[in-house]
Amino acid sequence: MLFGLALACILAAGDKPAPPPPLHGVYVVAHRGAHEEAPENTLAAYRRGIELGCDFVEIDVRTTKDGQFVSVHNATVDSYCADGTTGKVRDFTLAQLKALDIGSRIGPEWKDERIPTFDEILDLCRGKIGVYLDLKDAEVAPLIERIRARGMERHVIWYAGPTKLREVAAQCPECIPMPYPGPEKRLAKVIDEFRPTVIASVWDQFSASFVETCHKAGAAVIVDESDPTCWEQAVAWKSDGIQTDHPEKLIAWLKQRG
């Protein structure tokens, strides 16, 4: 229905990797997980996204001092720890990060929530929800290895810079790169290079013509919301997905619209 033309073109292409159709007509991407109800980027937030019926949970992948992969949005842990712990994620070992209580700052009921590893997230999401992988600070090859080991190539969409996305395309043809062109004037160049089935955008650079260009190229569009007031316009412009900080409200709104 709302997904319409873009999905039909993508599925018709056949040989191009694309995610499964959306559950509610529009892809609902829970930004940092369903973090209105749980600490962001935790298994609890991702688990809640699954319970709500989201299509994807957004994760932020970084590398630890000992070469492990975790999901933390910021480059430092400064704003996550109630005990005043500070420092760059890259300067902590996985064991040191796992020792941090990142839930208590939200409430005492979350005191046991820890920084999750990439493997833990994949194991939680496999067969239940897609993963919107925001590649902050990590090498591509070992992430592909973990995704392939679980058969999740078509259930992970990769948001990263052009260099990293070229690596994804070269090393994993069955994976789904999702380029972000920025201003619309760069859109044609991005489409020409990547021939993507999914393209990312943000609200202040979004338009009906942006969507139309993507759909003509056989690509769906997932846009970052500004706030819930943009949903109506996003759907009117035939957006295929919305990344939101309010997944429960967005799903309820989509259901209400029928």
Per-residue pLDDT tens digits for 119-171? 999 999 999 999 999 999 999 999 999 999 999 999 999 999 999 999 999 99
**Average per-residue pLDDT for the chain:** 94
pLDDT at 182: 97
pLDDT at 14: 53
Helix (H, G, I), strand (E, B) or coil at 203: helix
pTM: 0.94
CATH class for the region spanning 4-257? alpha beta
Q: How far apart are CA 220 and CA 19, in angstroms?
A: 10
Residues facing 28 on adjacent strands: 242
Contact, 253 vs 26, CB < 8 A? no
162-171 helix and 140-149 helix, angle to the nearest 10 degrees? 40
Residue 168 to residues 130, 159, 192: CA-CA distances in angstroms? Answer: 17, 10, 17
The predicted model gives 65-79 an average pLDDT of 97
Q: How far apart are CA 88 and CA 65, in angstroms?
A: 10
Q: What is the dihedral of CA 236, 239, 245, 246, to 10 degrees?
A: 50
Residue 1 to residues 7, 19, 54, 238, 257: CA-CA distances in angstroms? Answer: 10, 17, 17, 10, 12
Give residue 48's identity as a one-letter amino acid code.
Answer: R
- Confidence bin at 258 (pLDDT 50/70/90): confident
The predicted model gives 48-72 an average pLDDT of 98
Q: How far apart are CA 72 and CA 81, in angstroms?
A: 12
pLDDT at 16: 82
The predicted model gives 167-196 an average pLDDT of 98
pLDDT at 218: 96
- Confidence bin at 60 (pLDDT 50/70/90): very high
- Confidence bin at 7 (pLDDT 50/70/90): low
- Confidence bin at 13 (pLDDT 50/70/90): low
